[in-house]
Amino acid sequence: MNRRLLGVLVLVAFTLLAAVTAGAYAGRQATTTTLTMWSYDNQDPGLEPVLKQLSKDFEKSHPGVKINVVFKSFTDLVGTVPRALASGSGPDVTEGNQGYQTDAQLVKAKLILPLTKYIKKYKWDKLYAPSTWGMFRWTPDGKSFGKGPVWGIAQTGQNVVAFINRKKLIAAGINPNKLPRTYAGWERMLATLRAKLPADDPVIEAGNKSGYGFIHIFGGIWGAYVQPQSVRNWVYHVPGSRYDSAGTIKALGRLQAWAKAGYFNDDYNAVQEDAAAGVFAKGKGAMWIGGDWDSTIIKEGLGAKNIVVTPIPPGPGGQWASIGGLSGPWHISAKTKYPDLGAEWLNYVITSTRAKALMFSQQQIPSDKSAKAPAGDAYLGQVSKAFQQVANDDGLLLYTDWASPSMYTTLQNQFQLLLAGRQTPAGMAKAVQDDWAKFDKTLR
């Protein structure tokens, strides 16, 4: 009996190994063409249903083609996509991330294709203003950001704005239709809210578990103290740029002051940004400051009529600014068998009328600057205006984690320390600049 068991074990082992090999061969003879896309636009409601629906439409108009969209969290995708593309069995089309951590690596290792011929074919150059294309440009050695061919294309415009609960404004004696137009006024408003709200209700419901929550929130404060162009130069590694300017240090001090004054919820390090939006949508906190890709989540919770959407107003310089830019860059894998088909899908999800309609229906702003928000949706109008206001003022600060492969972790750690009172603004600014400088040396 026992020998038989051993025999069975051995048989099982060989059967499995045989099955594995057989499976590997069988997998190659598919009758349909399957394309795999990776995305971190996993907001539902939000872009996720848009991408799913558009892919279904694409399949209908392309018989024999199957589109498999895989949604991962931002950190999971960014952490696994370089290896996935390098393996040769990874996605055909995928989002990456602008900046030195991800896109620079993908370009340097020749894992993605330059999009030059598709830009020509589909006339994508009409989509964005010329300076916007900078965030997708890299020299083929992956060292110079903002120069060289274009490697990616984005679906939506994005920026970080404040979503405010109308009822709570009124309860605090603030007129929702006459919000402050200056940063100083904004800070006074926050103080009023803190004074008038119940003690256990935060002024700002924040979600920093993944570390980008405060990178986003900080942008609005930052814009009141520095020139947006200096921030963009720093991200693009223009020689001589610095993070530790007097303006930045002051702005960091303001963010720390907000934390000391008790504006944020206690558990911001345990909650993810999207989750915090959901919590705000259920009625906690007076406002949520974050990406407008979560606008639908908020609408579904509070109701469109109860929300005021605005960027944080400008400082003495008068320029509206916020962290923002375009959404994640879509790339075509250099190892895909179907680059043209992939480009066609991209063209469909970014430029088609159907795509724009679906995006608007989920309160997402198409990146195509010619897209007009349909009239009659006041909430969408607010979100759209909040983006335009900053974009037209040339105030989009991009995303500071783009500045080096380790910058995301550095910023995440430093913001957490700063807000907990364990780091000074000057100390943080120095730590961030040190990271930038260390990496900058490798680019020269």
In the complex, the residues that contact other proteins under the rule CB under 8 A are 1-3, 5-6, 9-10, 12-13, 16-17, 19-20, 24, 27, 36, 42, 44, 68, 70-73, 75-76, 78-80, 82-91, 101, 105, 108-109, 208-209, 211, 266-272, 274-275, 278, 405-406, 409, 412-414, 416-417, 420, 422
What are the residues facing 189 on neighbouring strands? none
Please say which residue, 365 or 431, places its beta carbon nearer to other proteins: 431
CB of 417 to other proteins, least distance (A): 5
398 has which bridge partners?
324
Q: Which is nearer to other proteins, 119 or 160 (CB)?
A: 160
Give least dist CB 159 to other proteins, A: 21
Buried b (16+ CB within 10 A) or exposed e, 400-416: bbbbbbebbebbbebbb
Q: How far is the CB of 277 from other proteins (least distance, A)?
A: 9
By beta-carbon proximity to other proteins, the closer residue of 171 and 443 is: 443
Closer of 182 and 406 to other proteins (Cβ): 406
Instruction: Quote the least distance from Cβ 364 to other proteins, whole Å.
Output: 17
Q: Of 364 and 414, which has the nearer Cβ to other proteins? A: 414
CB of 68 to other proteins, least distance (A): 8
Q: In the complex, what is the shortest distance from the CB of residue 387 to other proteins, in angstroms, rounded to a whole number?
A: 23
Q: How far is the CB of 312 from other proteins (least distance, A)?
A: 24
Nearer to other proteins, 378 or 420 (CB): 420
Which CB sits closer to other proteins, 85 or 373? 85
Nearer to other proteins, 101 or 241 (CB): 101
Q: Kindly state the smallest distance separating residue 107's Cβ from other proteins, in Å.
A: 10
- Using the minimum distance from each CB to other proteins, give the nearer residue, 207 or 339: 207
**14 vs 125, beta carbon nearer other proteins:** 14
Q: Residue 302 CB, nearest distance to other proteins (Å)?
A: 16
| CB of 98 vs other proteins, minimal distance in Å | 16
Rounded to 10°, the helix 339-351/47-61 angle is: 120
C-alpha angle 198-201-207 in degrees, rounded to nearest 5: 165
